[in-house]
């Protein structure tokens, strides 16, 4: 193991810092806050400032301490090709669990039934039920990375027929009973996708990927789940497809509008369309990766990357800034 000097410009939460220091090899030296030593090799920052990237002449890598790549960070690294970029996949398990939760809640009309029964209203039990039987249905997982693999396995365990789309393959393949296809097959796969789960990273290529035409390819009554980024799906097209019941239901953890500051957190509509008025949508405030142990998971994954760098081993989760993931 060699000495590795690491700086984190923003002082982290106490729980994260404690877990990080507990899991790091003693050869890794940490500094925090604006008062940096000025000679660090690695920078831990989601959106590093220009001064963070230029203060140390020894800087050779930036580690984003979460999944995904902010566009500002991608742009900054493209302008500094001598700096490698990494992130972590600590959120894979909780995000996959949330996707499954949203799928079941949306498909089974859980929230309308819950709201009615809280009022003492049992009528939904005696009405004709439109909730689909998921066993035997065809699921399409859009994005087959750490999260997508878990979601595909969960859907298969429910007895669903599962296909997936992955960008870095040229020909179809099979992996553990899951048919994995290149992006060129997306349009034809959508035509049979009774459940569509979106878990792609947000990149320039995935922005607006699912517009009116592609949403229209889904079978009538299909269920759409999005745990990726709101802007991958066209906002208006999704709303109207749900309002007009061309889509059966949706479970959304990601949105097009977010609070701009702390004061706005109490009253910010997540969309310019009234998704909350639709009874076939389950709304979640972008919390799929959040659990009681999120900070501990993040710290362990960050430590794994830094320990590998200090040991001279292959460093996991390198990001291609050109591709954005």
Write down the H helix ranges in the chain: 14-23, 50-54, 71-78, 92-107, 110-118, 123-126, 146-157, 186-190, 212-217, 235-243, 294-311
pLDDT(129) > 90? no
Do 248 and 107 have their domain in common?
Answer: yes
Output the pLDDT for position 130: 85
* 298: CATH: 3.40.50.720
pLDDT in tens, 58-112: 999 999 999 999 999 999 999 999 999 999 999 999 999 999 999 999 999 999 9
Residues 155, 243, single domain; the answer is yes
Do 59 and 126 belong together in one domain? no
**Contact yes or no for 312/2 (Cβ under 8 A):** yes
Mean local confidence (pLDDT), 269-285: 97
Q: Is residue 80 part of a domain?
A: yes
Phi, psi of 63 (to 5 degrees): -115, 115
* Residue 281 CA: distances (Å) to CA of 35, 53, 150, 243, 251: 47, 43, 23, 10, 6
243 and 224 within one domain: yes
**Residue 297 · residue 90 · CB < 8 Å:** yes
- Work out the average pLDDT over 159-182: 95
Share of the chain above pLDDT 90, in %: 93
Verdict on whether the full-model pTM lies above 0.85: yes
Short-list 144, 143, 110, 147, CA closest to 129: 110
Task: Provide the number of structural domains found in the chain.
Answer: 2
DSSP conformation class of 265: G
Give residue 80's pLDDT. 93
Do 277 and 199 lie in a common domain? yes
318 located within any domain = no
| Cβ neighbour number for residue 48 with a 10 Å cutoff | 24
Do 132 and 238 share a domain, yes or no?
yes
What confidence score (pLDDT) does residue 209 get?
97
Tens digits of residue pLDDT in 184-224: 999 999 999 999 999 999 999 999 999 999 999 999 999 99
**Phi, psi for residue 162 in degrees, rounded to 5:** -120, 130
| In a domain? residue 323 | no
Q: Do 81 and 105 belong together in one domain?
A: no
Q: Using CA atoms, how far apart are residues 193 and 217, in angstroms rounded to an integer?
A: 9
Residue 206 and residue 57 share a domain? no
| DSSP code at position 262 | G
Tokens 């081993």, residue located: 313
Query: Among 24, 71, 72, 68, which residue's Cα sits nearest to residue 52?
Result: 72
Going by C-beta distance under 8 Å and a sequence separation of 6 or more, which residues neighbour residue 267? none
More confident of the two residues 16 and 129: 16
Output the six-digit token pair for 159.
């007895």
Query: Which runs of consecutive H residues, i.e. helices, occur in 143-234?
Result: 146-157, 186-190, 212-217
Can you tell me whether residue 137 is helix, strand or coil? coil
Digit-coded pLDDT (tens) for 211-268:
999 999 999 999 999 999 999 999 999 999 999 999 999 999 999 999 999 999 999 9
The answer to whether position 111 is within a domain reads: yes
CA atoms lying within 13 Å on the CB side of residue 185: 22
Is 321 among the domain residues?
A: no
Tokens describing residue 207: 């922005």
Domain that holds residue 15: 4-90+292-311
Please tell me whether residues 65 and 202 are part of one structural domain: no
Would you state the pLDDT for residue 34? 78
Distance of CA 40 to the CA centre of its chain: 30
Give the pLDDT of residue 227.
98
Q: Encode 138-155: b = buried (16+ Cβ within 10 Å), e = exposed.
A: bbbbbbbbbbbbbbbebb
Residue 320: inside a domain, yes or no? no
Single out the residue in 263, 283, 303 at which a domain terminates.
Answer: 283
Residue 36 has a pLDDT of 67
213 and 241 share one domain: yes
Lowest mean pLDDT among 28-42, 51-65, 98-112, 274-288: 28-42
Maximum alpha-carbon separation in the chain: 71
Evaluate if residue 37 carries a pLDDT over 80: no
Residue 35 has pLDDT above 80, yes or no: no
Q: Within this chain, do residues 41 and 70 fall inside the same structural domain, yes or no? A: yes
How far is 164 from 257, CA to CA, in rounded Å? 28
What is the tens place of the pLDDT at every residue in 97-116?
Answer: 999 999 999 999 999 999 99
Amino acid 38: pLDDT: 78
End-to-end CA distance of the chain: 28
Is 322 part of a structural domain of the chain?
A: no
């Amino acid at each position: 193991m060699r000495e590795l000097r690491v700086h984190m410009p923003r002082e982290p939460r106490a729980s994260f810092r404690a877990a990080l220091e507990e899991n790091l090899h003693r050869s890794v030296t940490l500094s925090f806050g604006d008062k940096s030593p000025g000679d660090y090799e690695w920078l831990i920052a989601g959106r590093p400032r220009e001064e963070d990237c230029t203060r140390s002449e020894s800087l050779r890598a930036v580690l984003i301490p979460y999944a995904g790549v902010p566009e500002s960070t991608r742009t900054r690294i493209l302008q500094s090709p001598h700096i490698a970029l990494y992130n972590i996949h600590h959120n894979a398990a909780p995000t996959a669990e949330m996707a499954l939760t949203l799928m079941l809640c949306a498909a089974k009309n859980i929230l309308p039934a819950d709201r009615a029964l809280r009022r003492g209203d049992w009528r939904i039990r005696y009405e004709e039920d439109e909730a689909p039987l998921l066993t035997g249905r065809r699921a399409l997982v859009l994005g087959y990375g750490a999260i997508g693999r878990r979601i595909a396995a969960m859907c298969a365990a429910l007895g669903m027929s599962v296909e997936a789309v992955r960008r870095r393959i040229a020909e179809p393949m099979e992996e553990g009973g899951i048919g994995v296809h290149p992006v060129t097959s997306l349009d034809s796969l959508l035509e049979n996708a009774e459940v569509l789960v979106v878990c792609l990273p947000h990149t320039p290529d995935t922005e607006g990927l699912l517009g009116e035409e592609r949403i229209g390819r889904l079978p009538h009554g299909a269920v759409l789940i999005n745990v990726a980024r709101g802007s991958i799906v066209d906002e208006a097209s999704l709303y109207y497809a749900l309002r007009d019941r061309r889509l059966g239901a949706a479970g959304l953890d990601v949105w097009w509008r977010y609070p701009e500051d702390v004061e706005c957190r109490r009253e910010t509509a997540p969309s310019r369309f009234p998704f909350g008025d639709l009874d076939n949508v389950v709304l979640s405030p972008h919390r799929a990766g959040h659990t009681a142990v999120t900070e501990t998971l993040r710290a362990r994954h960050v430590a794994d990357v830094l320990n590998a760098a200090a040991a001279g081993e292959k460093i996991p989760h390198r990001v291609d800034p050109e591709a954005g993931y």
